[in-house]
């Protein structure tokens, strides 16, 4: 997108050349990776389209510290004025001008409404000036407030609908935060927003409404629909809470990454050991199968010892309860058995070990 918008690339030939160049780099990176971790299913489809192998890709989304947002949960759209919120920096990628036009329509349909634009205004000063001029032209100075940088939690407690008008996103945390608070969401169809709001076969239900980019009428209509229907707003809010708590909790995401690295380190170490010490192919194959099972056992065991909210691994996994504990994988082959274990490097206390015996020739 940056190349397509670049002012210094006005020559069509040069623009196509640069796009081809970066596409080639992207393909080279995909082919060089053992594992590709991406934020959403939508990203995965794009990466496959750009040349990545689907079996290399694993979807691990962003995560939310749910406990932080529980205090902002309440009934929505039950009193006037209704409060609409936009959370993000003021720049053209967030498309604040579309938000202002949306609010002009919303104001006509539901007069007892106000709005906040919560975020820094100094990222693109000229764009911010244009937005304030448009605000004046639309006659919305008494309706919309630019708050600047603020504690969003204070606003989430009073917000009835979150509206996001971005033209580009990955997996926006503001949408996830709003859902964790039980706030219904109206968002453009960018990045992972569709997956967040509607889910993927999770049987939870929508957490809001998704509209096309810069479709002012559709975004406004969705916003008005929610503002006028308290039951719908709160149903959307409950669905958002369920989806975040079941699929996007920060501790769940940390466990996924932890298991990826534990398993990767185990398999890399075992592979090195087999190549170096074991000459019999059938035995090497047998041990690799055993090791694969061991790594899965580690993946099943580790989450029980990983405590959300702590700075590191505590309890059984590190008897000295060292903050930010680091773990190492160790392997041993003495000719009669092959063992592998994972230990905290501070106290050397293992929390998983396995041993495979075999007979010498």
Report the predicted TM-score, pTM, of the whole model to 2 decimal places. Answer: 0.76
For residues 108 and 193, what is the distance between their CA atoms, to the nearest angstrom? 27
**Pick from 225, 247, 269: which residue ends a domain?**
247
Specify whether 102 is located in the same domain as 137: yes
- Domain stops at, among 184, 212, 247: 247
Please enumerate in sequence order all residues whose Cβ is within 8 A of that of 69, keeping only pairs 6 or more positions apart, or say none.
153, 156, 177, 180, 181
Give me the number of domains the chain comprises: 3
At which of 218, 247, 276 does a domain end? 247
Domain of 326 in residue numbering reads as: 252-357
Give, for all 361 residues of the chain, the pLDDT tens digit: 565 566 666 777 777 888 888 889 989 999 998 889 999 999 999 999 989 999 999 999 999 999 999 999 999 999 999 999 999 999 999 999 999 999 999 999 999 999 999 999 999 999 999 999 999 999 999 999 999 999 999 999 999 999 999 999 999 999 999 999 999 999 999 999 999 999 999 999 999 999 999 999 999 999 999 999 999 999 999 999 999 999 999 999 988 888 777 766 665 655 655 555 555 555 455 555 555 555 454 444 333 333 333 233 333 333 334 344 333 434 344 443 444 444 443 444 444 444 333 333 3
Residues 94 and 229 in one domain: yes
Look at the alpha carbons of 267, 273, 278, 279 in this order and tell me if their dihedral is positive or negative: positive
Instruction: Tell me, yes or no, whether 165 and 127 share the same domain.
Output: yes
Contacts of 166 (CB under 8 A, 6+ apart): 88, 93, 94, 95, 172, 187, 188, 190
β-strands 161-164, 185-188: how paired? parallel
């Amino acid at each position: 997108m940056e190349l397509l918008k670049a002012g210094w690339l006005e020559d069509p030939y040069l623009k196509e050349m640069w796009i081809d160049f970066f596409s080639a780099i992207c393909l080279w990176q995909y082919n060089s990776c053992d594992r590709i971790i991406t934020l959403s299913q939508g990203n995965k489809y794009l990466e496959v389209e750009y040349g990545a192998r689907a079996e290399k890709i694993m979807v691990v989304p962003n995560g939310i510290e749910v406990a932080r947002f529980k205090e902002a949960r309440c009934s929505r759209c039950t009193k006037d004025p209704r409060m609409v919120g936009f959370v993000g920096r003021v720049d053209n990628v967030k498309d604040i001008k579309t938000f202002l036009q949306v609010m002009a329509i919303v104001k006509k349909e539901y007069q007892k409404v106000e709005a906040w634009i919560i975020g820094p205004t100094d990222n693109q000063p000229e764009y911010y000036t244009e937005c304030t001029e448009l605000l004046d032209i639309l006659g919305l100075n008494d309706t919309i407030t630019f708050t600047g940088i603020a504690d969003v939690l204070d606003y989430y407690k009073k917000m009835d609908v979150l509206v996001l008008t971005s033209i580009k996103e990955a997996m926006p945390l503001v949408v996830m935060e709003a859902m964790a608070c039980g706030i219904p969401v109206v968002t453009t169809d960018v990045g992972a927003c569709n997956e967040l709001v509607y889910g993927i076969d999770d049987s939870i239900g929508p957490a809001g409404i998704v509209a096309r980019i810069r479709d002012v009428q559709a975004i406004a209509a969705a916003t008005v629909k929610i503002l006028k229907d308290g039951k719908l707003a709160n149903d959307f809010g409950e669905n958002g809470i369920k989806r975040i708590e079941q699929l996007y909790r920060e501790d769940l995401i940390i466990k996924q990454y932890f298991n990826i690295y534990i398993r990767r380190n185990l398999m890399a170490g075992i592979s090195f050991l087999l190549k170096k010490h074991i000459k019999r192919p059938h035995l090497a194959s047998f041990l690799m199968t055993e090791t694969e099972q061991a790594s899965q056992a580690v993946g099943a065991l580790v989450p029980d010892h990983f405590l959300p909210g702590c700075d590191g691994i505590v309890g059984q996994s590190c008897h000295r309860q060292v903050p930010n504990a680091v773990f190492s994988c160790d392997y041993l082959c003495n000719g009669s058995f092959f063992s592998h274990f994972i230990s905290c490097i501070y106290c050397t206390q293992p929390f998983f070990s396995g041993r495979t015996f075999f007979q010498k020739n």
